[in-house]
Amino acid sequence: WLHGAWISLLIISGSFDMLADMMVFISWIAYGMGAVGIFMLRRRMPQAERPYKIWLHPFVTLLFIGFSALFLIITVYNDVTNYINGRQPVVNSLLGMLIVALGIPFFFYFRKKKS
């Protein structure tokens, strides 16, 4: 029921487009971090079995990380510019990061409570 209340609050607070913009922005952060994680795991565990192969690794992976970073930078720039010019009421990308950051204390609380 808590998730339902939270989603209802988010829907009431803004438009669906705003929520979709925030979700897509946060998703691209996760995609980029996942690609960086491939490099980290391959460096930390070079002897580990590789159940899947990445075509043209590391070039494709680096290209993806670069695209993700460029997408995030351009999105923040456009959101800030639109906010300054009065075309949107909030900076969607930064608001999305703030909402995710508000969940970090809950993560640590429940992780500590679990152990």
pLDDT tens readout for residues 35-52: 999 999 999 999 998 888
Q: What's the whole-number average pLDDT of the chain?
A: 90
Over the range 82-114, which residues count as b (16 or more CB within 10 Å of their CB) and which as e? eeeeeebebbbbebbbeeeeeeeeeeeeeeeee
Q: Are 79 and 91 in contact (CB under 8 A)?
A: yes
CA distances from 91 to 35, 43, 98 (A): 26, 37, 11
**Average pLDDT for 79-101:** 92
Q: In this structure, which long-range contacts are made by residues 6-15, counting pairs with CB atoms below 8 Å and at least 24 apart in sequence?
A: 10/99, 14/90
pTM of the model: 0.80
pLDDT for residue 19: 84
pLDDT for residue 1: 65
